[in-house]
Amino acid sequence: MTPAMATTKPPGIAPSPALDYRIRRSSRAKRTRIVVRADRIEIVAPPDVCEQRIHAFVQAQQAWISAARLRISQRAVPSRSLAPVSYSDGSLLPYRGGHLRLALVDASRKTVAIEQGDDHLRLHVPKAVESHRRSDIIRHALEHWMKHQARRYADEMIARHAPRCGLHPRSLRIKTQKSRWGSCGPNDDINLNWLLMLAPAIVMEYVVVHELCHIRHKNHSRDFWALVSQHMPDYLQHRHWLKQHGASIMRGL
Ligand SMILES: [Zn+2]
């Protein structure tokens, strides 16, 4: 939605020096409108509107422009992958909002084994693996491990929240999804994206709560959000976190 220009007499206000914008004349424009983009502000105006009126209009819409710019800057967090460039000794693995350092040990085994420490993961990597395949095999093993962790934590979260309002899922599946965090089917089967293990634990808990609440309300109605907030009064902030950082996490390991 863009604000429309009022047809009043032009007030004599000089353009704001802080606001940098460019005026584009368009014969197709029926009224003056403001287009806010990440890198510029453009004022699209019909050919016959005088510049002074345009400046006054922009001046009057400063609050709206600031709000639009803020919205855009919040959306425009670049989605860099959280994953390390390669999986080698000392690499940092994103995990539950923090990191685990990888410690690699050569082992005479056929598959990668993973042991969890406080702030690290010890990986026993088969000696026989050729060096160019190492990083990929480790990444694969870590993904597998993450899915296990996701199930463990999701089970815990469900056990904590489900009994409160009788929101018991029929099943839980941990999935790899590129566009959603979770879902709740018509028969209360819940799917959860394991990539949530890269986000802070509370954010994953929000998604679990969100899907549990769909057991009662198969929609995003007011009642639905009221139920979510009963379980998690500060859920908005976790929802916001996902909106801001979700794209980075979706890029996976
Ligand atoms: Zn939903």
Closest CA to 87 of 104, 110, 75, 106: 104
Q: Which CATH architecture has domain 92-250?
A: 2-Layer Sandwich (3.30)
Residue 206 CA to ligand 1 center (angstroms) comes to 11
Rounded distance, CA 197 to CA 147, Å?
A: 8
Whole-model pTM? 0.70
Segment 11-41, tens digit of pLDDT: 334 444 467 899 999 999 999 999 988 778 9
Q: Please classify residue 197 by burial: count the beta carbons closer than 10 Å to its beta carbon, then call 0-12 exposed, 13-18 middle and 19+ buried.
A: buried
Q: Ligand 1 centre from 203 Cα, in Å?
A: 14
Instruction: Indicate the domain borders of the chain.
Output: 22-75, 92-250
Distance 96 CA to ligand 1 centre (A): 22
pLDDT tens digits along 211-233: 999 999 999 999 999 999 999 99
**How distant, in Å, are the alpha carbons of 14, 93, 178, 192 from that of 227?**
50, 34, 27, 19
Per-block mean pLDDT, blocks of 10 residues, the chain (253 long): 43 52 91 87 92 92 87 71 91 95 95 95 94 92 97 98 96 94 97 97 98 97 97 97 93 91
CA of 91 to the centre of ligand 1 (A): 35
CA of 148 to the centre of ligand 1 (A): 24
Distance 220 CA to ligand 1 centre (A): 6
